[in-house]
Amino acid sequence: MRTLAFDGRMGASGDMILAALLAAGADRDALSPVEEALDVRYEASTTVKNGISATRVRVLLDGEDDDDREGADGESEGDAGSSDEEDEHHRAHTHEGDHGHGQSHDRNHGHDHHDHDHTHDHDHDTGDAHATPAEGHGPHRAYAEVVEIVESMGLPGSVERDAKAVFRILGEAESSVHGTDLAETHFHEVGADDAIADVVGACLLLADLGVDRVVTAPVATGGGEQTMAHGTYPVPTPAVVEIAERADWSLKGGPVEAELLTPTGAAILAHVAEGVETLPALRIDDSGYGAGGYDFSDHPNVLRVLVGDGAGRLSRDEITVLETNLDDASPELLGNLQSTLTEAGARDVTVLPATMKKSRPGHLVKVVVKPEDAERVAHRLAVETGTLGVREHGAGHRWIADRTFETAELEIGGETYRVAVKVAADATGETYDRSAEFDDAASVADATDLPVREVMRRAESAVDPSD
């Protein structure tokens, strides 16, 4: 199984993820849909962090002369007074939105919000120091506006769904922190062009690498305090904590007094990565380091990515779930849904008893489908049952085994009978289940007067090499 592993011992941000994926072999040209849609460009350059050569990525405004380097708020790029990674960290945590508080982003960073011992020496960078960074560029957008922009980019379906899922994680975290509804949540800097470029760019590069599984070891948050638009908060900041509650991986503090994990970085990892306690065994094909903006005396501020063949367990399969409540469906109709919905593209159909309004008995129908089949299956479900609405839980995934079929040949009473047996194995090739097909076994049972379960047992034993 082709596996990508993030080593987040020095945290992660959107630009660090972009840089690490490029360094690990993703095609720079895969980012062109974002550049065309947002009128920005990605600049990749090389820097050195504590002796490690790493890739650095900046999102720059396109189509401006070097002499015209004024930002959206009238401050020039040279006034920032901090590294690009500090700007990423700061803007990622000042996007709580203008919920009547009147906050605005201070490009000058007039407060000393990183009170620890480090420097920001970028003498090794080879990028265009005179280009205009896109940070903070664009209006402060609501969640729905960001989704609309992503949908307008003409992205591949899986990439669009991934990007929207990341922004939903960010939006839900913000709405939880501020006690607002998702629809009312306004992104501040995370709704700006550069943050959209970070999220969508990361999804495009992951798709380009074509990996089957993404994992991350525990991600470092740093420590100390962080000053944001609403005040000073401990690291990890509230948004990162909210996102981590939705993630499959663990946080760990340190190893320095600085903010190492941004909400954008956390949200990307929360959507794409499975948590592991240690990096898995990999036969490494590619690796890369994405540079952050800090320079510490003992710790290289980089995000490492490893790509290779790994001893994975189950494969990740992208799905969505449809469901509807029925209170007037006949048993015959419900029984027929298995075949009719499967013909329309359903991967699994479940009918559960339920208690409806006014204590009426009813049923809950749940259907697992591939995202691209959702509308067709939902329509078939509606016309078959007469339901007035079908709910969709949204893009997600399931873990599935590699499934193959073998044919068992059974000698019974001088006759040879054939029964199909489904064999389930993980990605390492280790078989963990064999299951005879019931219809085949039932036919053999009818012809031989053996119990169905005995036919199934013999068939499963016949394809087990250990017997």
What are the DSSP calls for 241-303, one per residue? HHHHHH-SS-EE-BSSSSB-B-HHHHHHHHHH-EE-SSPPPEEEEEEEEEE-S-B-SSS--EE
Confidence band, pLDDT 50/70/90 cuts, at residue 203: very high
% residues pLDDT > 90 (the chain): 55
- Judged on CB neighbours under 10 Å (0-12, 13-18, 19+), 360 is exposed
Tell me the per-residue pLDDT of 145-177, one tens digit each, with 9 for 90 and over: 889 999 999 999 999 999 999 999 998 888 888
**pTM for the structure as a whole:** 0.61
- Report whether pLDDT(381) > 90: yes
Q: pLDDT digits over 297-345, tens only?
A: 899 999 999 999 876 566 767 789 999 999 888 889 999 999 999 999 9
In this predicted structure, which of 192-206, 351-365, 391-405 has the lowest mean pLDDT? Answer: 391-405
Q: Is 285 helix (H, G, I), strand (E, B) or coil?
A: strand
Amino acid at 184: E
The most confident of 12-26, 218-232, 247-261, 348-362, by mean pLDDT: 12-26
Which range is least confidently modeled, 138-142, 277-281, 355-359, 365-369? 138-142
Which pLDDT belongs to residue 169? 92
Residue type, 156: P
Is a pLDDT exceeding 90 seen at residue 264?
Answer: yes
List Cα–Cα distances, 156 to 322, 323, 372, 373, in angstroms. Answer: 22, 26, 11, 15
Average pLDDT over residues 280-284: 86
Q: Determine the Cα–Cα distance for residues 72 and 38; give it in Å rounded to an integer.
A: 15
> Under the phi-then-psi rule, with left for phi > 0, alpha for psi from -120 to 50, and beta for the rest, what region is 359?
left
Would you say residue 198 has pLDDT above 90?
yes
Interior/surface letters 252-269, b for 16+ CB within 10 angstroms, e for the rest: eebbbbbbbbbbbbbbbb
Percent of the chain residues topping a pLDDT of 70: 78
Residue 177 tokens, joined = 């922190």
Residues 80, 73: Cα–Cα separation, whole Å? 12
Q: According to the per-residue pLDDT averaged within each range, which of 201-210, 280-289, 458-467 is highest?
A: 201-210
Mean pLDDT along residues 275-302: 91
Task: Quote the mean pLDDT of the chain.
Answer: 81
| HSE-CB of 333 using CA atoms within 13 angstroms | 16
pLDDT digits (tens, 9 = 90+) for 59-72: 998 755 444 433 33
Q: What strand order describes the sheet that includes 52-61?
A: 40-49, 52-61, 282-291, 302-310, 2-7, 213-216, 274-275
Residue range 225-241: average pLDDT?
83
- Cβ contact 86:108 at 8 Å: no
Cis ω for the linkage preceding 331 (within 30 of 0): no
Q: Which residue has the higher pLDDT, 458 or 89?
A: 458
Q: Give the pLDDT of residue 101.
A: 30
Residue 335 identity: G
Question: Residue 187: phi, psi to the nearest 5?
Answer: -75, 145
What amino acid is encoded at 189 in this protein? E
Q: Which amino acid is located at 256 in the chain?
A: V
CA distance 4 to 131: 32
